[in-house]
Amino acid sequence: GCGNAGCTAIFSARFEGAHDAVCEHKVVHCDLNCGTLLVRRKMQEHIEGPCPMKPVHCPYRAIGCQAPGLVQGQVDAHVTDNTDTHLRLAVNCILHQQREIADLRAGWQ
């Protein structure tokens, strides 16, 4: 049978390797190489949740930040290191919206 804690699978010794390669109870390294050890069945939850290597977009993407290759564990540093850039993007966004509002108002008159 399987030697992984919590697994109740029973099989002959010749299938041990095949089972071990897919056993949901086996402790494995994170697929995104963040260094975390977890049981295989929790991998998706980890990658979609707290994994610091999970690819993410900058929280300022909506106003134009296109930071490439950003991962969850770098977001705080990215935001801190790019305050000026994000502020410029925000000001540009506001100015653009003000122009659009002025154009709309001009169209109503």
Least confident of 13-17, 40-44, 77-81, 94-98: 13-17
* Residues 36, 46 contacting (CB under 8 angstroms): yes
Q: Is the pLDDT of residue 99 over 90?
A: yes
Q: What is the arithmetic mean of pLDDT over 82-101?
A: 98
Q: How far apart are CA 86 and CA 59, in angstroms?
A: 10
Q: Is the pLDDT of residue 109 over 90?
A: no
Where do we find the tokens 């071990």? 20
Give per-residue pLDDT as tens, 26-57: 999 999 999 999 999 999 999 999 999 999 99
Where do we find the tokens 């993407």? 61
Q: Is the pLDDT of residue 19 over 90?
A: yes
Q: Which pLDDT belongs to residue 6?
A: 95
Helix (H) or strand (E) holding 39: strand 37-39
What mean pLDDT value characterizes the chain? 97
Which residues, 6 or more positions from 89, have their beta carbon under 8 angstroms from its beta carbon? 60, 63, 64, 65
Q: Which pLDDT belongs to residue 35?
A: 98
* Residues 20, 26 contacting (CB under 8 angstroms): yes
Q: How far apart are CA 31 and CA 63, in angstroms?
A: 32
Q: Phi and psi dihedrals of 52, rounded to 5?
A: -70, -15
